[in-house]
Chain A
Amino acid sequence: MEYSNQRPPQNYSQMDDQKTLDLEESVSETIMRDLRMIAFKLKYVLIPKEQEDNGKELRNWDLWGPLIFCLVLAMTLSFKAESTTTSTKSDVFAIIFVLIWVGAFIVTLNAQLLGGKVSFFQSVCLLGYCVFPINIEAIIIAFFGSYLPFVVKLIPVLLCFAWSAYSSVGFMASLVPPHKKKLAVYPVFLFYLFLSWFSLIV
């Protein structure tokens, strides 16, 4: 999608008459507007060239994007999980869901405790958006995994893990003082490693 001036789509209408128009617009328009906003943020977060203003766009955090990616990942992996007992599929779904949200919570808390001055939800939003490459690799492996030997499966896993980690590390490392950078960055690595491991073995 092309944006001529790189401004995000308007979320909120300022004027009253536009507000009533919002209520009257069709559901598809509202949904498309939200989807366009998610797509814009995704491009912003994952393609570093787009960040001209050093992450200020993230101040308009939203949790829809992370929720969608989390659900897609959990559903992909739980469809693919073998059902030896009926509980395995729901186990996988529950583990992935809890892992993403509790993991993002703990990683953000860690960055805050180490002295990073960032709003809690901004960081959770960023970590959630960076789960998107893991989604891609999960879908690739879900569809083609049974035909590929293990070593070939490793390549997209490592690439997507590196992409996720690289996108979020830039932001995280800028939050804390330089002598604590590695301390703030390691939990992010562990978080995405855990998720990549899941998409590899399921």
Chain B
Amino acid sequence: MSSNGSALKGSAPPPDLAKQVLAQKLAQQIVNQIVSDDVIDDKIEEEENQNKEPTCCQMFCAPFTLKYYQPFFNDLTTKVIAQKLWASFFPFKATFFEIQDGKADLYGPVWIYATLVFSVAAAGNISGYLATPSNIAFHYNFDFIPTASSLLFGIALLVPFAIYMVMKMLGGRHLHLSSVICIYAYAQTCIIPVCIVCSIPNPQLQWGALIYAMINSSLFLIVNYWGELEKNIQAKKHIVIWLIAGCQVVLLLLFKMYFFLYVYTNPYTGSRFDQLTKIDRIDHSFLHHQH
């Protein structure tokens, strides 16, 4: 660099240039620091603003905004959901809360219950169709769909809430309502293949499959909550266990008695879906007598 013979005094240019470059770099770093400090300050301020008490309106309207539910769908991948579904079929391993560090998701609950509504309504009607003798007309029962929706989406919210409240009252810690709703929904996954099996109208097969579903779902819940139960609720854990098992028994009895009930045959027409017609006929004959 200093090979050109211009009157450069010895080694003056490189140090000056180097100093300049160094000064520039230093200045740039200082500016970066200031800017990032500002940014950090802004972030801290934002967080503080968020931690301030929300207004009354914000508190009540929050569940109606989409943003409220965004955290439950944020880090989902197909693989995580598949892992959770797979884990629900093996109730003896308590691995559910280790998948993605126990982060609750709402994708599972919504779509598992939606699939269940479809499966139960379809399977119930298929089993009824296969059970009616061939000389009787089969009438598809459309009431299964609204009934199944109300039942399943109702228990989706109420039973986890009951479990959450009971566990909290008995001293459980590290519990969130959203994670209870999540695990309860994945516990019901085993009912979907059981419904497909139950579309065959054999009563022993149906009872066997439903009992399997009941045992699988209750065990899944109990085994996954076992750590929590042992640590924090030692003495009274049987209350929670009976609550969980009881809810599952009631649910599956409801399924058997409403969707897969084929033992009743209407003596007038021979079909099991003609209960309303039977009542109509009685009313008409009664009225007929009166006139």
Question: In the complex, A88→B142 CA distance in Å?
Answer: 7
> Which chain A residue shows the least CB distance to B276?
A85
Whether B114 lies near A181 (C-beta < 8 A) is: no
Whether B77 lies near A113 (C-beta < 8 A) is: no
Whether B73 lies near A95 (C-beta < 8 A) is: no
Question: In the complex, A85→B273 CA distance in Å?
Answer: 11
Question: In the complex, A186→B79 CA distance in Å?
Answer: 14
State whether the Cβ of B146 lies closer than 8 Å to any Cβ in chain A: yes
Partner of A183, one of B76, B273, B280: B76
Question: Given that A113-B69, A183-B81, A190-B115 are known contacts, is A202 also in contact with B140, CB under 8 Å in the complex?
Answer: yes
Partner of A114, one of B73, B79, B125, B146: B73
State whether the Cβ of A91 lies closer than 8 Å to any Cβ in chain B: yes
Whether B277 lies near A84 (C-beta < 8 A) is: yes
B280 to chain A, nearest CB (A): 8
Interface size counted on chain B using CB atoms at 8 A: 31
Interface residues on A, range: 20 to 34
Partner of B66, one of A95, A112, A179, A201: A112
Whether A95 lies near B146 (C-beta < 8 A) is: yes
Whether A110 lies near B107 (C-beta < 8 A) is: yes
Whether A186 lies near B111 (C-beta < 8 A) is: yes
> Max chain B CB contacts within 10 Å: which of A113, A181, A202?
A113
> Which chain B residue shows the least CB distance to A183?
B78
Question: Majority SS of interface residues in chain A?
Answer: helix
Whether A187 lies near B73 (C-beta < 8 A) is: no
> Which chain A residue shows the least CB distance to B117?
A194
A91-115 CB mask vs B (1 if < 8 Å, else 0) is: 1100100000000001001101111
Question: In the complex, A84→B274 CA distance in Å?
Answer: 8
Whether A82 lies near B139 (C-beta < 8 A) is: yes
Partner of B78, one of A81, A110, A182: A182
State whether the Cβ of B143 lies closer than 8 Å to any Cβ in chain A: yes
Partner of B73, one of A81, A84, A113: A113
Whether A84 lies near B118 (C-beta < 8 A) is: no
State whether the Cβ of A180 lies closer than 8 Å to any Cβ in chain B: yes
Whether A114 lies near B78 (C-beta < 8 A) is: no
Whether A113 lies near B66 (C-beta < 8 A) is: yes
A112 to chain B, nearest CB (A): 7
State whether the Cβ of B110 lies closer than 8 Å to any Cβ in chain A: yes
B3 to chain A, nearest CB (A): 57
The residues of B with any CB-CB pair to A shorter than 8 Å are 66, 69-70, 72-74, 76-79, 81, 107, 110-111, 114-115, 118, 122, 125, 137, 139-140, 142-143, 145-146, 273-274, 276-277, 280
4 closest pairs, A vs B, by CB? Answer: A113-B73, A179-B77, A182-B78, A91-B142
Q: 16 A-B contacts, Cβ less than 8 Å apart?
A: A81-B142, A85-B280, A92-B142, A106-B110, A110-B110, A113-B72, A113-B73, A114-B73, A115-B73, A179-B78, A180-B77, A182-B78, A183-B77, A183-B107, A190-B111, A190-B114
20 more A-B residue pairs beyond the given contacts A82-B137, A84-B139, A84-B273, with a C-beta to C-beta distance below 8 A: A82-B139, A84-B276, A84-B277, A85-B276, A91-B143, A95-B142, A110-B110, A112-B66, A113-B73, A114-B73, A180-B77, A181-B78, A182-B78, A183-B77, A183-B78, A187-B111, A187-B114, A190-B111, A190-B118, A202-B140
